[in-house]
Amino acid sequence: MGLKKNVIEALASSPVKWINFTFANRMVSPIGYYYVASMVDNNTIKCAVDSNLSNTATYNAATNTITASDGSYGETYFDEKALLIHECTHALLDCLYNGRDMNNNKAGGITVLQDETIAYIAQAIYIIAAKGNSPSNQAKPDYQAVESIQSKLEAVMAKRWSGCETIHLTGADVAGLTTAIKNDPLYSDWASTAVHNG
């Protein structure tokens, strides 16, 4: 199928309709993923394969590139689709919020911690909405993201979908997640400003 097609299909899949939340004066919603899918389709956001990666995906804001460990990444497994959503959320923040907040006002950048928090919450919503297997390592950010959003999301999902239910998250709501990100060696730069250069 190919990575580009897998990314577009993940972005168009049903669980994405439930990703609708705000945090750090940024809003993540289905329409944002529609724009990301369009940018992937027209190669504004590129897709690449790097076999040196070990069963994972990344987003590089400097080159606007989503890279995965192989071309079939995200084709079958919900955890892979969810990670593609995580990386597409970084792309969304980079391309749609460069120098702007959710009200389209000029705004300073957000930290790596805030950027990762937003991406992990989107990933968790996808996993929950897809009824995928929840992460099991309580110390890891992906587990804490599910813990942070599950009850709020389930309350929204219990109603008929309207597209208008936005979950507003505070620092207290995601405290376990932000602690897990800070404690993960992968995010030793958590206090730095995230690269959002469009």
User: Across residues 30-49, what is the average pLDDT?
Assistant: 98
Neighbours of 46 (CB within 10 A): 15
Q: Look at residue 195 and tell me whether its pLDDT is greater than 80.
A: yes
Average pLDDT value over all residues in the chain: 95
Q: What is the pLDDT of residues 94-116, one digit of tens each?
A: 999 988 888 888 888 899 999 99
Q: What is the pLDDT of residue 133?
A: 86
User: Across residues 64-70, what is the average pLDDT?
Assistant: 97
User: Across residues 141-153, what is the average pLDDT?
Assistant: 97
Q: What is the pLDDT of residue 132?
A: 85
Write the CB contacts of 119 (distance below 8 Å, at least 6 apart in sequence): 86, 87, 89, 90, 93
Write the CA distances from 97 to 27, 91, 187, integer angstroms: 9, 10, 21
User: Across residues 9-32, what is the average pLDDT?
Assistant: 97
Q: What is the pLDDT of residues 158-180, one digit of tens each?
A: 998 888 899 999 999 999 999 99
Stated pTM of the model: 0.96
Q: Look at residue 198 and tell me whether its pLDDT is greater than 90.
A: no
Instruction: Lowest mean pLDDT of 147-151, 156-160, 194-198, name the range.
Output: 194-198
**Can you point out the beta strands (E) in the chain?**
21-23, 26-28, 46-49, 57-60, 65-68, 167-168
Residue for token pair 């993923």: 33
Domain ranges in the chain? 3-187
Q: What is the pLDDT of residue 123?
A: 98
Q: What is the pLDDT of residue 101?
A: 87
Residue for token pair 């950048």: 109
pLDDT classification of 1: cutoffs 50, 70, 90: low
Contact 66, 84 (CB under 8 A): yes
Q: What tokens were used for 6?
A: 């897998």
Q: Look at residue 134 and tell me whether its pLDDT is greater than 90.
A: no
